[in-house]
Amino acid sequence: MRHPAQRLLDRFVRYVKVDTTANDSSPTYPSSPGQLILGKLIADELRAMGAKEVEQTDKGIVFATLPAVQAKPGPVVAWIAHLDTSPETTGKDVQPMVHSNYQGQAIPLHGKPGLVLDPGHHPDLAALVGKTIVTTDGSTLLGADDKAGVAVIIEAAHRLLEKPNQPRGTIRLCLTCDEEIGKGTDHLDLKKLGADWAYTLDGGGTSEIDHATFSADLAEVIVHGVNIHPAIAKDRMTNALRMAGILLERLPRTMAPETTEGEKGFLHPYKIEGGVDRVRIAILLRDFQTAKLAEQADLLRSIARSIEADFPAGRIEINIKPQYRNMADGMEKAPHVLPLAQQAMEAAGLAPRLTSVRGGTDGSRLTEKGLPCPNLSCGEHNLHSPLEWTCLEEMDTACSVLEKMAVILAQG
């Protein structure tokens, strides 16, 4: 039999070679055919290893069950990862390079002359001397986000199924589509998933449990001006572009992503389009305290009113759309979820750390829908980039964490 870590590596390499780049402009779900191809390949693997209730839905979501063995009646826990990869860098023809017994050197990525993965700029890489590092050849992303998570879940399932007499709790497996374009939970039927709580495997490095995320609203600002030929514009034109410029200037620079970190929230204008008669600005509102989103919206409204006072014929409309909520809000109502992950990590020899994400995860959305779902480390590094890499030993440890979790669940 192959060594389990080698089987995990083979599995990871097999998965990243299927192009599952999400496509934001596709009208279909999932947004790219590779997600269906990879999902089918994995569903077949799951059947072959003896998983139960293996199913790929018409939306490409893969479900499976590892039934309990000699377990006290207890909760059903789900492990979730996403099949798609980020459209920010191509995931076509990924050529993973495996660097065994890494010696801390800079790694030239030959697929793009001049591109080098330098441990001097990446301390997390420098710390992994002696380990097995997997990089790209520089011409694509690697897709460890989130095929590291997918491979970890499937390998952990395989290892558990190889020990049919070892007690374990009931585990549901779930692979989703189009997470990278914000649609990862759109077609996920929580009734069908049938879990009491869940963990996404989509985290950086090792030993981290993301237990808090931003709460998020989107502010759509529409500036209405009055257009007329510039030749006869005196006292008749109201230029929406000019009003929009003032609005952007009045957003406090101390409340921006480029000036904040840690627990501080921000307002982030990220898109503007339009002309003299109408301008649309999209602004992200973000804070760990959900109540502060309303204060950010009020600030935006007061800036708009002050500009309208100077441009009597102009008007600024502000529409706030909720996006997701801080995962920690839901975690308070589910006291077993974080301790189980912490216990499993400790049993796997790790010192777990609770971390906050300055963003959202599928877990924030699922937690909000009533399925508490923190995010666990699985060896991801330099996401969405041709400099993406992973560490086999970190993935292997993440497998052990899941195995331990299943065993702890059996103890009730």
Q: In the complex, what is the shortest distance from the CB of residue 240 to Zn ion, in angstroms, rounded to a whole number?
A: 37
Q: In the complex, what is the shortest distance from the CB of residue 19 to Zn ion, in angstroms, rounded to a whole number?
A: 16
Q: In the complex, what is the shortest distance from the CB of residue 179 to Zn ion, in angstroms, rounded to a whole number?
A: 6
Q: In the complex, what is the shortest distance from the CB of residue 202 to Zn ion, in angstroms, rounded to a whole number?
A: 4
| CB-nearer residue toward Zn ion: 215 or 375 | 375
Segment contacting Zn ion by CB under 5 A, of 27-35, 107-115, 196-204, 222-230: 196-204
Q: Is 182 left (phi over 0), alpha (psi -120 to 50) or beta?
A: left
Distance, CA of 237 to CA of 314 (rounded, Å): 9
Task: Rule CB under 5 A: say whether 178 interacts with Zn ion.
Answer: no
Contact criterion met (CB below 8 Å) for 261 and 335: no
Element (H, E) at 223: strand 215-224
Segment contacting Zn ion by CB under 5 A, of 24-32, 126-134, 200-208, 333-341: 200-208
| CB-nearer residue toward Zn ion: 146 or 368 | 146
- Out of 45, 137, 145, 210, which residue is the one contacting Zn ion (CB under 5 A)? 145
Segment contacting Zn ion by CB under 5 A, of 2-10, 119-127, 198-206, 299-307: 198-206
Segment contacting Zn ion by CB under 5 A, of 35-43, 60-68, 111-119, 143-151: 143-151
Task: Rule CB under 5 A: say whether 146 interacts with Zn ion.
Answer: yes
Distance, CA of 109 to CA of 138 (rounded, Å): 5
Closest to 5 (Cα-Cα) out of 124, 107, 106, 98: 98
Number of residues that bind Zn ion (CB under 5 A): 3
Structure token digits, residue 411: 């103890």
Element (H, E) at 126: helix 123-126
Task: Rule CB under 5 A: say whether 210 interacts with Zn ion.
Answer: no
Segment contacting Zn ion by CB under 5 A, of 50-58, 109-117, 141-149, 304-312: 141-149
Only one residue has tokens 């994995």, namely 42
| CB-nearer residue toward Zn ion: 202 or 217 | 202
Helix (H, G, I), strand (E, B) or coil at 54: strand
Q: In the complex, what is the shortest distance from the CB of residue 184 to Zn ion, in angstroms, rounded to a whole number?
A: 8
Q: In the complex, what is the shortest distance from the CB of residue 368 to Zn ion, in angstroms, rounded to a whole number?
A: 18
Fill in the amino acid letter for 59: K
| CB-nearer residue toward Zn ion: 148 or 237 | 148
Residues forming the active site = 84, 179
Distance, CA of 40 to CA of 48 (rounded, Å): 12
The binding track of 88-127 with respect to Zn ion, each residue x by CB under 5 A or -, is: ----------------------------------------
Helix (H, G, I), strand (E, B) or coil at 310: helix
Task: Rule CB under 5 A: say whether 84 interacts with Zn ion.
Answer: no
| CB-nearer residue toward Zn ion: 146 or 388 | 146
| CB-nearer residue toward Zn ion: 170 or 176 | 176
- Give the DSSP letter of residue 93: T
Residues 6+ apart with CB under 8 A from 190: 366, 369, 370, 371
Q: Give whole-number Cα distances, 61 to 100, 230, 241, 373, in Å.
A: 34, 55, 44, 18
Q: In the complex, what is the shortest distance from the CB of residue 232 to Zn ion, in angstroms, rounded to a whole number?
A: 54
Q: With the C-alpha atoms ordered 366, 368, 369, 370, is the resulting torsion angle positive or negative?
A: positive
Interactions with Zn ion, residue window 348-407 (CB under 5 A) = none
Q: Write the DSSP assignment of 22-36 as a string of letters.
A: --TT-SSSSSSHHHH
Helix (H, G, I), strand (E, B) or coil at 379: strand
Q: Give whole-number Cα distances, 255 to 247, 250, 325, 369, in Å.
A: 14, 11, 19, 29
Task: Rule CB under 5 A: say whether 202 interacts with Zn ion.
Answer: yes
| CB-nearer residue toward Zn ion: 141 or 221 | 141
Interactions with Zn ion, residue window 301-320 (CB under 5 A) = none
Residues at the interface with Zn ion (CB under 5 A): 145-146, 202
